[in-house]
Structure 1
Amino acid sequence: MNTIAVYPIYLLLLSPTIAFQYGHVGKRHASICRHHRLSENIISPSPLFANQDDENDAPNLDDDDWRSFRARLVLENKQGEQGASSSTTWAYDSGLIEPGSIILAKTEPDFCYFGLSQQYFHKAVLLVTYHSSEFTKGIILNRPTNLHLDDEDFIDESGEPFIKSDNALEDMNSWRIWFGGDVNGMYSDDPEIVCLHSIDSNLGKNLSEEIIKNIFLTNYEGARKLIDANEATSQDFWVFAGYCGWSAGQLLDELKHESWYMVSADSQTVWSELVRQRDEDDNDPRDAGLKTYSKLMQMIDKGHEAQALSESFADLTLKEWAAEAILFNSTVSEAVLAYEMNNTDVTREALLDEIMDSFSSKAGAIGSVDKIVKLAHDAKAGKLSGALLRGSSAQRSPFLLSDQKFHKALILLLQDEDAVSVGVMLNHPTTDTHSITLPNGNTLDIIIRYGGSFGIPGVVEQPIIFLHCKSQLRKLGIGESVNKHDDTGNIWICSEEQVKRSVSEGHATPRDFMAVRGLSIWNKEADEIEGGILGEILMGNFEVVDPIRGPEIWCTLISQAQMSIDTLDRNCRLASEAWSVAGESVDTTLTQQCVYDSTVKVAELSDDALRYWQEAFLLGGVISAGKYTGFE
């Protein structure tokens, strides 16, 4: 078998120690931690929350009086133009970064990046809690969850419950949690908890920092002290897990690029919205605080912007993010709960049965237990290399909110070793081609396909992997099977020189080859067999394709054209057809679930998210402008 020039590039590409990631979109959440640590630096001396820059030469008024004075000027100007108003609440576009300011995310008329990643920033309302020349910190106000924690759910630095009750009948406080941000948030191993309140007693002021007039910030310990002093109940606090942070100059730069509106608002405006979020009977976390955002946008005369993009792609993915991240089940499995309570009536087998049922509902495409065991055995023996995988066929795509490139993807697994699994996607043609000059002087162009977001650092021109699926070339020994244990695989890897020779000698045409640039990598922990791509398969994120389907999949994908605005639709259709060939047909009766309070189907939204990703990352800009109605 001729393997000229295959090994050097192949081994270089697959070295896990030299890989770097480029063009990465999004990151998955870890599982939520039941206990939430107290942060020692929540209650701090005043400078933590003070603007230390003194950049503005304001009159000699305290911050609250000066903010109110500016507001009155704005209101008087509006009333002079529009007639008198009896409103006593106010908010206006200040353009100033200061503690107590409100930040409103600006919507984009044609496309919002937050639709593909960090959806919680879309139409977010943030309260700035600290600002200096080095760092700015804020919490998201309009992402309430339905998660309620008891006192025993909060732990101290030693990992012990902060409140230790010797009386089993003692009333426990219930604390509703708001998603405050992605830094030290709800899914962090070390969540940071802060509490907003309006208790203006001496004790309340001593335990807190005043952010806006009559609105204070403390931590759980401070809140508990106020409760123990009979000055408050847990219902008097709004509890936020996590925060948002900006490094030196970052927020100012984003303001200059008009990504945010910086707003000053009075405490009554802020407080009334927090109360409404808490008390409205129909307040569902999947609403994602859109009402609060719209109201504040109206107060700064930007209501038309919020309304114009209602039910936009970003609105819908925000609702799906909320359904996944801040909507919690109201009931706990009776079997799991009983087992946790050491109930002898619940057997380990019953618990395992329930876990398997739950697992099957998420990863039903994996198949039987025997199939799972075989996958694990093949992975341990290193036999997964060369396997063809497809993105999940689950009712709700695991790649709706991040890594959209893997939605309905077709992946060739190149390597599955102790430390890493490496593959390339086959279904994403790019706008680039690779030219090869033949011995007779003619030039052939092969479309370069996007294989993944990893490459080799320090290399401007990333190496290209060449593949073929032609039986005649296999018989001639052109290239080699990716699977070291089985050379009968359909897709082989070869070198550029072998491509050139095969075409010049008439054994193949340029359409018989794929050229792929970039890698997809799944890391493993030390000695972790079930990590890497196997872990992704067991989670239901990917499915192993029957090798017999390989040639038909290849023939469908090879019909894709070089990516352009004109070829995008056809390329998407062919990729979807190839994905369907790769597995059993999806039961359409299970794909009718709609986005909350919408007529758009989640399955269709996932397809459209992939389309947006292709436009943004393969075409370099989004072309599907206007109000979202799904792609035709």
Structure 2
Amino acid sequence: MMRLQILVLLLLTKLTYTTSFVLNPSSVTTWRYSRYSFLNGKSSNGDDVDDDAEKFDLSSRDWRAFRAKLVMGESQATAAATKTDNVSEEDDLDGIGSLFGVTAGSISSSSFDPDQWAYESGKVIEQGAVILGGVEQDYGFGLRQQYFHKAAILVLDHQEATFTKGIILNRPTEITLPDTLNNIRWKVWFGGDVQGLDSTKPDIICLHSLDTPPVTEVSTTVLRDIQWTSFHQAKKLVHAGHAKPSDFWVFCGYAGWGPGQLLGELDRQSWYMVATDSQTLLQEMARLATTVDARDAGLDTWTMLMKLIGREKLALEETGTFDDYMLKEWARENLLPKILPTSSAVIATERQEEIKLMDPMKELRARISSMQNQGKTEDTSSDFTPGHIVRASSQERSPYLLQSQELHKSVVLIISDDALCTVGVVLNRPAAKGLDIRIKASAGDRVVTLPLRYGGQYTVKGQEPLLWLHNSDILRQAKIGSPVGKDGFEQGIWKCTASDVTKAVKGGLASPTDFVVVSGVSLWPKKGLQGELLPQLRKDVMEGKFVDVDPKHTKALWSELTKQEVLSASNLDVSLTRANAVWDAAVGGHAPNRPPESADTPRKDEDDALRETEPVLIGGLGEGFDEEDHSLVYNTDVKVRELSDKALRTWLATFLLGKPSL
């Protein structure tokens, strides 16, 4: 009975405690409270409360620090109660004791510094909170939006019914923005994917901790000691002598969530909500600004905050993962200075320079458009007419590591080409579905299952959803179907219909395994955002992303294609090996009239609009930042080539099998 009374008292104390700190702190100057006085031998009638009471002045502190102190007191009291009571789980028949167990997200420190603290706040979304990237969800950020992996996002604004806006704090870059007013350059941080580094209308804000009137008058408070102002205002403040450039952190872009979206992602464990003090954040950003390489992607910041909220074990277990390496590769690709064509070095105005920095392709599109307007570029063909086969290149760093991983080590057949786009199908990506073909025979019927192949993420309106292909001399002679291409491709791959397949199999002209069936297509557009000519596949070949396959290799790669089977969890690795065998069969491929040694090097197009130019470093902090082994992920011994293979495997497991953890 005594134990039950103590537990009930603890429950009542906790409820009172919780009710107290949700009151509006702005209406109170000083609070006095007693931390579970009964645990220290105090009575509950208040006789000795003053001996254990503490004062907390809310007039000059972040009111969330008061809440942090309550949470810490609760954690310590709970631990003390558990230790003193020493009741086993079997004896806890009423279950009340389990309500007060110390959770993984509680504050683990034994002492409280009123100026530095952090704790996991559950699903409390509020301005000034930090959103930490989760690592327990089914689908991580390794394949898509790598910048969100282990991100630390400061909430700038939260309106539950409309929008939540935050900036990523731990993605410093080596990119700089020009400031013609002060004749300086400002280091930029990647703040998020909305109106970010690649946008023609970037959203740029500056965080700071200044408290002088000229600064605060043009700033918005996020939490105690942290405010933000616009890039325009920051430049004016520096010019007027009210601040120094080093007083600001410049963020380009932000992360945004619609109504209820973030809460839903919290339910899926995509994030952890954290409350922490401003000094912890300011000190960490100062460290990132001066001592951290952008290619490290701020992973240490995430680990530090995870430790502060009591999740150190999980943080250590999730170190050196596939998603970590993909994030580092994303940082290498996006957070280092841009390499632009020579003519981009001449910039007329500050705004033009900002746009050039954010959009490296703008110059190329403008040059092509200009030549097109002058009548120098009339041809909209891509040099890759139907019937051509292209093969993803074997560069050390795969061009399809961070996106479109399905194209890594792919073999693609071009099936159509017009003024708008080039259309192709990936041949060596069997999916987890098959098509059964029943063959009648005197000895009994038998069923042959053909793997349905993933050809791409698009479908062509008005056309059959499945594309049947064959590469049989007998079927060509029997006129089963028609060639995919013309003008030299009559002896190449042919397309046909399901009826053609049935006819050929019934007539004994072919076996079901002589055919390949594909669902979906891949597209390469030929027009830019402003309608200018920009043949994407031609550009990809010039950049070495794809190479031509000589028609003489078609027979060998087709032979490997017919060995592939329906994809399953048990044969994933075998399927990858066979897919790579198709790719290897075309390894010596090259376009007609080109030497074999050019197979894996970018083609030199004679069109002046696409001719390579000498690169010029734009927006950097200096050269020499990339002197390490390019074949390895930065600061690791992981080979990028192997990481690319792992990314393809993860893509197959995630999108074709629906098992990302496989």
Asked whether the 8 Å contact 2:205–2:229 carries over to 1, the reply is: yes
Residue 149 of structure 1 corresponds to: 177
Output the CA distance in 1 between the equivalents of 2:643 and 2:320. Answer: 12
| 1:118-517 superposed matches below 5 A | 118-132=145-159, 133-152=161-180, 163=181, 172-280=183-291, 283-328=292-337, 336=342, 340=346, 380=381, 384-437=385-438, 443-455=447-459, 463-517=465-519
Within the alignment, does 1:76 sit opposite 2:73 as a pair?
A: yes
Q: Deviation at 1:124?
A: 0.2
* CA–CA distance in structure 2, aligned partners of residues 405 and 250 of structure 1: 28
2:319 partner letter: S
Larger Rg: 2
Deviation at 1:458, TM superposition (A): 11
* Residue aligning to 2:130: 102
Counterpart code for 2:233: G
Shift of 1:340: 4.2
Percent of aligned pairs with the same amino acid? 39
Residue 144 of structure 1 aligns with an amino acid whose one-letter code is P
Cα deviation, residue 144, structure 1? 0.2
CA RMSD of superposed structures (Å): 3.0
**2:111 pairs with one of 85, 89, 110:** 85
- Asked whether the equivalents of residues 174 and 234 of structure 1 are also in contact (C-alpha less than 8 Å), the reply is no
Deviations 1:303-331 (A, max 9, x none): 222211111000000000000000227xx
1:117-148 deviation per Cα after TM superposition (whole angstroms, max 9, x unaligned): 10000000000001111111000000000123
- C-alpha contact (below 8 Å) 1:147/1:177 kept by paired residues: yes
Larger RCO (CA under 8 A, 6+ residues apart): 1
Shift in Å at residue 411 of structure 1?
A: 0.7
TM-score, length of structure 2 as denominator length: 0.72
CA distance in 1, matches of 2:148, 2:298: 11
Cα 1:97/1:532, change in 2 over 3 Å: same
3-state secondary structure, aligned to 1:431? strand
Aligned AA (1:550) = T
Q: Deviations over 1:282-313 (max 9, x none)?
A: x1001100111111111111122221111100
Distance 1:607 1:228, change over 3 A: same
Structure 2 CA distance, aligned partners of 1:556 and 1:378? Answer: 36
User: Is contact 1:185-1:241 (8 Å) kept?
Assistant: yes
1:61 paired with 2:25, answer yes
1:362 equivalent in structure 2 = none
Give distance in 1, aligned partners of 2:470 and 2:480.
9
CA distance in 1, matches of 2:221, 2:240: 20
Relative distance call for 1:439 and 1:578 in structure 2 (3 A) is closer
Contact kept, 8 Å, 2:392 with 2:407, in 1: the verdict is: yes
User: 1: CA distance between counterparts of 2:653 and 2:344?
Assistant: 50
Paired residue for 1:601, among 639, 646, 650? 639
1:180–1:240 CA contact under 8 A, matched in 2 = yes
- My pick for the range that moved more, 56-65 or 547-556, is 56-65
User: Cα gap change, 1:508/1:401 in structure 2, threshold over 3 Å: closer, same or farther?
Assistant: same
**1:591 touches 1:603 (CA, 8 Å); kept in 2?**
no
1:54-108 deviation per Cα after TM superposition (whole angstroms, max 9, x unaligned):
xx99312139643121111122344554674264411111131111110001113
Q: Distance in 1 between matches of 2:110 and 2:549?
A: 69
Task: Label 1:492 to 1:294 Cα distance change in 2 as closer, same or farther (>3 A).
Answer: same
Residue aligning to 1:33: none
Residue 216 of structure 1 deviates from its aligned partner by 0.5
Provide the residue aligned with 2:564 in structure 1: 560
Displacement of 1:258: 1.7
**1:466 partner amino acid:** W
Write the distance in 2 (CA, Å) between the matches of 1:502 and 1:83. 75
Letter matched to residue 656 of structure 2: L
1:219: how far off? 0.5
Per the TM alignment, residue 176 of structure 1 is displaced from its structure 2 partner at its CA by 1.2
Distance 1:438 1:341, change over 3 A: closer
Which one of 582, 588, 597 corresponds to residue 586 of structure 2? 582
* Deviation (angstroms), 1:538: 2.3
Whether the aligned pair in 2 keeps the contact of 1:378 and 1:384 (CA below 8 Å) is no
The 1-side partners of 2:629 and 2:209 are apart by: 46
SS of aligned partner of 1:240: strand
Distance 1:378 1:576, change over 3 A: farther
Note the alpha carbon deviations across 1:328-385, whole angstroms, 9 max, x for none: 27xx89x94898499xxxxxxxxxxxxxxxx9xxxxxxxxxxxxxxxx9997397621
2:434 alignment partner, SS class: strand
Gap change, CA 1:114 and 1:83, over 3 Å in 2: closer
Name the CA shift for 1:138/1:174 in 2 (closer, same or farther; >3 Å): same
Deviation larger for 478-487 or 446-455: 478-487
C-alpha distance 528-417 of structure 1, shift in aligned 2 (>3 A): farther
CA contact (8 A) 1:433 1:446 kept: yes
Give the SS at the match of 1:115.
Answer: coil
- Rounded to whole Å, the distance in 1 between the matches of 2:217 and 2:630 is 54
TM-score, normalized by length of structure 1? 0.75
CA shift, 1:173, in A, is 3.3
Q: Is the 8 A contact 2:387 2:489 kept in 1?
A: no
Determine the C-alpha separation between the residues in 1 that align with 2:139 and 2:633. Answer: 18
Q: Secondary structure at the match of 1:100?
A: coil
CA contact (8 A) 1:434 1:445 kept: yes
1:520 aligns with 2:551: no
Distance 1:432 1:583 in 2: 28
1:114 aligns with 2:146: no
After superposing the two structures, state which structure 1 stretch, 88-97 or 62-71, moved more: 62-71
- 3-state DSSP of counterpart to 1:553: helix
Over residues 126-180 of structure 1, what are the superposed CA-to-partner deviations in whole Å (9 max), with x where a residue is unaligned? 000011111110000000001233313xxxxxxxxxx3xxxxxxx6233111000
**Which whole-Å CA distance do the structure 2 matches of 1:341 and 1:564 have between them?**
54
Question: Contact 1:59/1:66 (CA < 8 Å) preserved in 2?
Answer: no
Q: CA deviation at 1:471?
A: 1.0
Give 2:273's aligned amino acid: M
Shift of the alpha carbon at 1:255? 1.1
2:486 and 2:279 mapped to 1: Cα distance?
A: 69
SS in 2 for 1:114: coil
Aligned length: 510
Tell me: CA distance 1:484–1:233, structure 2 relative to 1, closer, same or farther (3 Å).
Answer: same
Summarize the Cα distance change of 1:78–1:457 in structure 2 as closer, same or farther, 3 Å threshold: farther
Shift of 1:187: 0.9
CA contact (8 A) 2:21 2:67 kept: no
Task: Specify every segment of 5 or more residues in structure 2 that has no aligned partner in the other structure, as ranges.
Answer: 1-19, 27-57, 80-107, 349-363, 365-376, 589-596, 601-627
